Amino acid sequence: METLHSLSRRDFLRNASLGAGALAFGNILSSFTLKPDKKLGIALVGLGSYSTGQLAPALQHTKNCYLAGIVTGHPAKAEAWKKQYNIPDKNIYNYETYDEIKNNPDIDIVYVVLPVSMHKEYTIRGAQAGKHMICEKPMALNAKECEDMIAACKKANRLLSIGYRLHFEPHNMEIMRLGQKQIYGKVTSIDTGNGFTYRGDPNAWRLKKAMAGGGGLMDMGIYSIQGTRYTLGQEPIAVKAMQEKKRPDFFKDVDETVFWELEFPGGFTAHGKSSYNNDWSYLHVEAQHGKFGLEPAFGYGELDGYTAKGPMNIPNIIQQAAQMDDFAECVRQNKQSRVPGEEGLKDMRVVDAIYRSLDSGKKEKII
């Protein structure tokens, strides 16, 4: 990721991060015809470490799309990417010329990979420029911003997808199947955590609430929330949360470690946690007739899963390639993504409620 200034996505995200269920959606798009064999062009907005280390390399392995353009505030980065990926000058933009992307037929999809505070603006502007949009998660600073983004994309008749790569990752997809289909009976317990020990720049944008929206909860906790939701295939109705700070001088403006209990219809309660001061990546599920889960659960690299019958023994894939290929096919077929803007909105409603609970010290409804 990057901002207008020198901002990069931390190296840790190369090794730690997730997906929820497909949603029914009416066809709101005007006709969008493409040649069946045409690869769709993707432009990456923000060339920090996630674009550099994950998305651009993944686009070298995609079947339905390719790296067509970039948007960056750094001329040196633009020149380096131009040479490395053979990007023509006409497909290179900065933040001042971003809106001109509407005149470029090479670019079909714009992928926003910026700090969270910039997601809303650049997603809406991209849709208004006539491009289909992918936005990294967390989708926005709060649920209201998510609603605005969804409305803008619908008004522009453009598809919007959120970067939930683990919806296309086979281990996590198996967890969805086991939980939602109740393969081992009704789920009786869920415990999930995601986090890492932050040792980076204390002045980084991720530690500034105005830019990141929060700390470990926004960055890492989104995966724990997703893991619970997609395991059950249900939406929580309330949450009770608490937090701790063992390094308050470092995490002055954002949360460090947060624990929560998600309440679902019928009284089921799931436990989750997030952290910038603990190395977690797991999803453990107990059901009436056996256990299943993942550990590590949410990373970019190799994941490992187990069931009541033993190890999953599922091959790992390039998650981002599968994610982007799927969206390109959705655009080609004029159909909604399995991870649309509404999916990001549901997560942010939970996050908003968790922050309200931290403030009030009480259980809060998810609205």
User: What separation in angstroms does the CA of 200 have from each of 70, 136, 162?
Assistant: 26, 21, 26
Contact assessment for residue 337 and residue 161, using Cβ atoms and an 8 Å cutoff? yes
> Is 137 one of the annotated active-site residues of the chain?
yes
H helix intervals, the chain:
49-50, 56-58, 75-85, 119-128, 143-155, 170-180, 209-212, 216, 222-232, 319-333, 341-360
Q: Which of 198, 167, 154, 231 is nearest to 19 (CA)?
A: 167
> Is 223 one of the annotated active-site residues of the chain?
yes
Q: Which of 50, 223, 276, 355 is flagged as catalytic? A: 223
Q: Which of 160, 281, 145, 173 is nearest to 221 (CA)?
A: 281
Residue 222 dihedral angles phi and psi, to the nearest 5°: -55, -30
Rounded Cα distance between 141 and 154, Å, is: 20
Q: Which of 137, 240, 273, 346 is flagged as catalytic? A: 137
Q: Angle of helix 341-360 relative to helix 222-232, nearest 10 degrees? A: 120
Q: Are strands 40-45 and 257-263 parallel, antiparallel or unpaired?
A: unpaired
Active site residues: 137, 223
